[in-house]
Structure 1
């Protein structure tokens, strides 16, 4: 190479291409978990004593999602016995405005699910008693719950307008095999049909608000009460009584968590 060219190159400023910026990780979610006993984890054990009568479990699907995903903030406000009005009054106001993810399970208590369980699934109850309880639950589902869900969903949307909201349904509580000793085959089938109607309503109403629906029925298929053993993810009548007909820890991890995660992250 010519000596003068070498001298010119040596004197020229060194040009460096900028290094490629590392891909930035998605920001950690700011997560609020709202709802009733199914969101609180009643039935799963390992209850946080600080939650008192709300009976929030460290094995609930909100706690499992938190442990797996490490949100930047976590509000666990779900509470045993909550209906839609309770969530709107006591839980939604606690949700920070910058929340990016909300999960919500509510609606069963608005229908008197507990009363229907007592009327249909306890020993020595009559078909007439069961039918009357389910008739009342179906009336509330038709006439009252659609408006209550709309009101709650609008309030939540206004409180956390940027959040992805995942609304879950409920599993079939019961197996339908004739060998099951809970209630009768006809009562179990009608009870599960009420669950289907409730889930269908929740899915429709949540879609109207632009929320995502997590359907847990397929995940719980084959795991309802009656089976016994490790495949039974729903408590039958048990002690303490308030755990009866709620998901066990296996139902929270194997039934709720996968559906919620798919809706939250997909």
Structure 2
């Protein structure tokens, strides 16, 4: 467990008497990760972010808007693997950052390939099972070491930062009225998400980071049959937004969980 140098989101200088809250410098915040951190599916994309598709509706941007950090690095990028975050994003984090958020790991399991194999209308059980078997293999054999390497590097880069690592929501509804895939496929896909979140939570907390579990917040809001309660896109256009949180999922699911982890 690494030592935490900050007791709160703001960095307070060491002195005999506490400085007034208004005098404390605001946080230096860096947001890292993949499409779920970038806000794919939430719309309002920054043209300058190109294929990273960083959205004004993503939870990092919403946190920035609500708390006004002195510095904000939004480095999350659609499609990022743990290796991409390690190579391209961690080196950009200020060494005196006071807050870092991170969402990554799904692409390392080929989540997108599994979604295509399991959830398209004409796919077969055999194709779905093969894709999920491969995702489960990567989860057991490859991802633990990759997360460990990434977390250690991030810890070394910003040793004073409060680091909040998020998991992923269940993408699919489980009710009898759901029309995506089959009940068995939806259940197995969500079980894979549970195993991924358990791994992320266990390893992030071992590193001394905080884990934001978003699954409870998204309960009842998975892709299913449409309507205002659906916070996850089903298959949609553009295709790269499919099975990603809508703006409502970022604001109603991710942001509260991250806020609780940051401030709790």
TM-score (norm. length: structure 1): 0.91
Paired residue for 1:166? 164
Matched, 1:23 2:7: no
Cα 1:129–1:68, aligned 2, differ >3 Å: closer, same or farther?
same
C-alpha separation in 2, matches of 1:252 and 1:227? 19
What CA deviation, in whole Å up to 9, does each residue of 1:117-137 have, x standing for no partner?
000001110000000000000
Cα displacement string for residues 124-173 of structure 1 (whole angstroms, at most 9, x for unaligned residues): 10000000000000000000000000000000001000000000000000
Report the alpha carbon displacement of residue 24 of structure 1 after superposing the two structures with TM. Answer: 3.2
For residues 153 and 18 of structure 2, the distance between their equivalents in structure 1, rounded to whole angstroms, comes to 41
Counterpart Cα distance in 1 of 2:79 and 2:143:
16
Q: 1:178: Cα distance to partner?
A: 2.6
How many residues of Structure 1 are paired with residues of Structure 2 in the alignment?
Answer: 247
SS class of match (1:156): helix
SS of the residue 1:146 aligns to: helix
Q: Tell me the distance in 1 between the aligned counterparts of 2:210 and 2:169.
A: 17
Does the 8 A contact of 2:46 with 2:53 survive in 1?
yes
Give SS of 1:217's match.
coil
What secondary structure sits across from 2:217 in the alignment?
A: helix
Shift of 1:227: 3.6
- Partner of residue 121, structure 1: 119
Counterpart Cα distance in 2 of 1:69 and 1:179: 40
Structure 1 70/224 Cα, relative in aligned 2: closer, same or farther at 3 Å?
same
- Give the whole-Å Cα distance in 2 for the aligned partners of 1:75 and 1:119: 35
Q: What is the rounded CA distance, in whole Å, between the counterparts of 1:169 and 1:57 in structure 2?
A: 19
- 2:47 & 2:83 partners in 1: Cα distance? 25
Paired position in structure 1 for 2:188: 190
Residue 179 (structure 1) shift:
2.2
Once residues 19 and 231 of structure 2 are traced to their aligned partners in structure 1, the CA distance between those partners, rounded to angstroms, is 44
Residue aligning to 1:14: none
1:81 lines up with 2:79 in the alignment: yes
Residues 195-219 of structure 1: CA deviation (Å, up to 9, x unaligned) = 0000000000001100000000000
Contact 2:179–2:225 (Cα < 8 Å) also in 1: no
Q: Which runs of 5+ in 1 are unaligned?
A: 1-19
